[in-house]
Chain A
Amino acid sequence: DAGVTQSPTHLIKTRGQQVTLRCSPKSGHDTVSWYQQALGQGPQFIFQYYEEEERQRGNFPDRFSGHQFPNYSSELNVNALLLGDSALYLCASSSGTGGTDTQYFGPGTRLTVL
């Protein structure tokens, strides 16, 4: 039973570029959440997708956008990259049956912006 997978593992971009990160949820899960984790800090919620719609959003600018596909996989897009976007980006999946469902995390994508 595959857990949450993310790609790529590492990514290096320059300021102003755009990036797309990908996530496949754990088998049986239909909800995907994205988090940003800066070095030495706890993860910060970006947004959650359920039934191909953004269901909830954290305090992140519109440069951060996402998408969920019919197979429940998801993408996170970040436009106009800033140095401060350098972080570990985590995807978590859960089943969307209720408001409090256990979220299981993938290994993350390490983004470095130069």
Chain B
Amino acid sequence: GESVGLHLPTLSVQEGDNSIINCAYSNSASDYFIWYKQESGKGPQFIIDIRSNMDKRQGQRVTVLLNKTVKHLSLQIAATQPGDSAVYFCAEESNDYKLSFGAGTTVTVRA
């Protein structure tokens, strides 16, 4: 079936270190990918996106990498801060208008 999944359910990071969150997808027809951050009791917050015609995109402290050959997506967070503690979801969208989410990775930042 078609699904989007994350490699690890939890990630513990020292404050100031870089974080890498991984995601594997199975639908080779997917052409748009988004990373969302969800804090406790809130809705998912858009972080960064990438389309299938790109392999890298950078934002403020975040970088998304897309490897279509192995159907892998990653989110890199530079200089992780306590406010980065949250659940991170990758989501996949194709031309059927719906987003498909993985189960999420919980990131905990250690002081």
Contact = CB atoms under 8 A, between A and B. Distances in A.
B94 A99 contact: yes
B31 A100 contact: yes
Contacts of A112: none
A88 B101 CA distance: 15
A56 B96 contact: yes
A42 B103 contact: yes
A34 to B, nearest CB: 10
B98 A56 contact: yes
A58 B32 contact: no
B94 A106 contact: no
B97 A99 contact: yes
A71 B102 CA distance: 32
Interface in B4-53: 31-32, 34, 36, 42-46, 49, 51
A56 B44 contact: no
Nearest to A46: B98
Interface in B95-111: 95-104
Interface string A100-111: 101111111000
B98 A108 contact: no
Nearest to B95: A99
A45 B44 contact: no
Given A100-B93, A107-B43, A33 B98 contact: yes
B44 A33 contact: no
A55 interface: yes
Nearest to A109: B43
Interface of A: 4, 33, 35, 40-45, 48, 50, 55-56, 58, 90, 92, 99-100, 102-108
